[in-house]
Amino acid sequence: MALAERVRIARSMVRAGMVKQLGPRRWRVRGRTGDYVVYRPAGTLALECHRMTKVGDVPCPAMSNGHICVHVIESIIAGAKRKRHKVSFCESKTQAERLSRLGGDVVHVRSRQGSGEVFVVVR
């Protein structure tokens, strides 16, 4: 699924109230296949996504496919909304730098579970 499609889905899920903050670095996201927990270890911008099961947390299969999953995008949008920031997502650093010329900072977000990465412009 393309990044634009994942962002569109994530924005609609945030509007529907499917994301809840559990702590300063933890978010609970309700998905189609169950609940997910997204967290960011201290001192890094690498995010992890795990599906919550009865026997424990299982890594999100979408994070290992080479892209950032929709659950992580939802948590980024919800966090920015809480602080009244606007975010835009880009697939490459050059796209993000061009967009940041209009104002904003470029943040490189990557997956700790795979090779996925996305560039976020925060305004």
The pLDDT of residue 1 is above 80: no
Question: What domain range is 12 assigned to?
Answer: 3-122
What tens digit of pLDDT does each residue of 22-70 get?
Answer: 888 889 998 877 888 898 877 677 888 999 988 888 988 877 777 888 9
pLDDT at 5: 92
In sequence order, what are the beta bridge partners of 34? Answer: 31
Half-sphere exposure of 89 (CA within 13 A, CB side): 23
Number of separate domains in the chain: 1
The amino acid sitting at 36 is Y
Strand ranges, E, within 1-123: 19-23, 26-31, 34-39, 46-53, 56-59, 87-90, 105-111, 117-122
